[in-house]
């Protein structure tokens, strides 16, 4: 497709329930969407950057000028037939992976439509059903957390992941395990601990967790290798893995036994596929992480999750857990036994609700020739 216009917009959408991690609480999302148009084709992408530079240095207000001033102009007037051509067109810009992913993924989205194949098939996927877990944030009280877990288990989710931090960890796990001794349970620390706390982290071993996600620094792999030697619980890396070389380094050093792949964090579908392949070659199972995406990012996560090494339940859960009304149709739904069926239709498989998107838009810029 010859790219004519790229529309960048920011939407404000309240979350159904606040989401709290070790770095803070979110009540509403600012969703950055890109729409790439040319020769009658339209591709959509979502930039998963947060409202603040806490999960990563990249955030919504850094992504906006990076996309409008540097990344989008690199595509205007060019003929790009395949999503995989996108990284080389953006290579001059260092970092800003979430911004890059929004554009690259929009091109894969358009390519799948142009070729009349499902996006998941174009990505090389084979799974027709994706296994779902949920990520449950830090709550106001233990009771509120127990209620949330009960609700999600009743909805059929196959893995419960709890956010933890010092002061919201061992007591919580003790209560949860006392009530549900054999559910598949994991925790995510979002870098809330240091290597000095190894003795404390060793206490997590008694709870038979599927994994502990990102216990240490966001930009550190080697010290996770040191920690993994001290723990029985498998470490899963999230923040530390920014590209396939990081995954290779983590595998080589034994820094983790599982990797969480977020397509935005690694810069787009091409790099996500590379991370997947490195993990497969090193026998590290992966799962698809989430960033509280709208339906557009969620549909892309779903497509990615069909690749063979996504063998653990991901954080790709139902639209209604996050939004009163999602911006795609049909909304993403999870079956009573905790699976999402991947649509076998061309493209992303979900219609984008442009009227609703217009209503939710608070900022918009169109990048075009001249
Ligand atoms: O660390 O996985 C994380 C949300 C925002 C930022 C970081 C993370 C998360 C989640 C939520 O855990 C996953 C989701 O349900 O989208
Ligand atoms: Mg995480």
Which residue is catalytic, options 262, 273, 274, 320?
A: 262
Looking at residue 12, what is its pLDDT? 98
Looking at ligand 1, which residue's alpha carbon is closest to its atom 8?
291
Mapping DSSP onto H, E and C, the string for the chain reads: CECCEEEEEEEEEEEEEEEEECCEEEEEEEEEEEEEEECCEEEEEEECCECCCCCCCCEHHHHHHHHHHHHHHHCCCCECCCHHHHHHHHCCCCCCHHHHHHHHHHHHHHHHHHHCCEHHHHCCCCCCEEEECEEECCCCCHHHHHHHHHHHHHCCCCCEEEECECCECHHHHHHHHHHCCCCCEEEECCCCCCHHHHHHHHHHHHHCCCCEECCCCCCCCHHHHHHHHHCCCCEEECCCCCCHHHHHHHHHHCCCCEEEECCCCCCCHHHHHHHHHHHHHCCCCEEECCCCCCHHHHHHHHHHCCCCCCCCCECCCCHHHCCCCCCEECCCCCCCCCEEECCCCCECCCEECHHHHHHHEEEEEEEECC
Instruction: State phi, psi for 262 to the nearest 5 degrees.
Output: -115, 120
- Whether pLDDT at 71 is above 90: yes
- The mean pLDDT value for 339-367 works out to 97
Report percent pLDDT > 90 for the chain: 99
Residue 21 C-alpha to ligand 2 middle, in angstroms?
Answer: 9
* pLDDT score for 128: 96
Among 289, 295, 321, name the best residue to mutate to test ligand 1's pocket (greatest count of ligand atoms within 8 A of Cβ). 289
Average pLDDT, the chain: 97
Residues in contact with ligand 1 by the CB-under-6-Å rule are 21, 55, 135, 188, 190, 238, 289-292, 315, 317
Nearest atom in ligand 1 to the alpha carbon of residue 239 is 1
Question: Can you tell me the mean pLDDT for 342-364?
Answer: 97
Nearest to 156 by CA among 338, 310, 308: 338
**pLDDT tens readout for residues 224-277:** 999 999 999 999 999 999 999 999 999 999 999 999 999 999 999 999 999 999
pLDDT at site 115:
97
Q: How confident is the model at residue 92 (pLDDT cuts 50, 70, 90)?
A: very high
Active-site residue flag, 364: no
For 334-346, the pLDDT digits (tens) are: 999 999 999 999 9
Q: Is this model's pTM higher than 0.85 or not?
A: yes
Q: What is the predicted pLDDT for the residue at 217?
A: 98
The pLDDT of residue 369? 85
- The pLDDT of residue 370 is above 80: no
Is 363 an active-site residue?
no
Assess whether pLDDT exceeds 90 at residue 31: yes
Can you tell me the distance from the alpha carbon of 21 to that of 19, in angstroms, rounded to the nearest whole number?
Answer: 7
Nearest-ligand number for the alpha carbon of 316? 1
- Using the mean position of ligand 2's atoms as its centre, give its distance from the Cα of residue 232 in Å: 20
Q: With contact defined as beta carbons under 8 Å apart, do 268 and 87 qualify?
A: yes
Q: Tell me the two tokens of residue 277.
A: 């392949």
């Amino acid at each position: 497709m010859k790219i004519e216009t790229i529309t960048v917009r920011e939407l404000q959408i309240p979350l159904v329930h606040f989401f709290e991690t070790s770095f803070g609480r979110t009540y509403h999302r600012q969703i950055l969407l890109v729409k790439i148009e040319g020769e009658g084709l339209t591709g959509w992408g979502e930039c998963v950057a947060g409202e603040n530079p806490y999960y990563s240095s990249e955030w919504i207000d850094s992504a906006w000028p990076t996309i409008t001033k540097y990344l989008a102009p690199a595509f205007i007037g060019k003929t790009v037939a395949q999503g995989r051509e996108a990284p080389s067109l953006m290579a001059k810009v260092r970092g800003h992976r979430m911004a890059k992913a929004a554009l690259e993924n929009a091109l894969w989205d358009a390519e799948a439509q142009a070729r009349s194949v499902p996006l998941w098939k174009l990505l090389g996927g084979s799974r027709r059903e994706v296994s779902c877990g949920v990520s449950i944030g830090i709550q106001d009280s233990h009771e509120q957390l127990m209620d949330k877990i009960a609700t999600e288990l009743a909805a059929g989710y196959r893995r419960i992941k709890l956010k933890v931090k010092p002061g919201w960890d061992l007591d919580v796990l003790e209560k949860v395990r006392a009530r549900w001794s054999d559910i598949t349970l994991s925790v995510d620390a979002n870098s809330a601990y240091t290597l000095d706390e190894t003795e404390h982290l060793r206490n997590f071993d008694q709870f038979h967790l599927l994994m502990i996600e990102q216990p240490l620094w966001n930009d550190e792999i080697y010290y996770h290798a040191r920690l993994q030697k001290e723990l029985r619980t498998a470490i899963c890396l999230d923040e530390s893995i920014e590209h396939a070389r990081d995954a290779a380094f983590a595998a080589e050093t034994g820094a983790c036994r599982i990797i969480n792949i977020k397509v935005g964090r690694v810069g787009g579908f091409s790099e996500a596929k590379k991370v997947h392949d490195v993990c497969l070659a090193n026998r590290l199972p992966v799962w698809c992480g989430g960033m509280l995406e709208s339906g557009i990012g969620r549909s892309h996560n779903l497509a990615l999750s069909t690749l063979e090494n996504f063998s653990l339940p991901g954080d790709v859960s139902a639209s209604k857990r996050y939004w009163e009304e999602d911006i795609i149709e049909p909304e993403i739904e999870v079956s009573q036994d905790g699976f999402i069926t991947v649509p076998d239709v061309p493209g992303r498989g979900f219609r984008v609700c442009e009227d609703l998107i217009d209503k939710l838009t608070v900022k918009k810029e169109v990048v075009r020739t001249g």
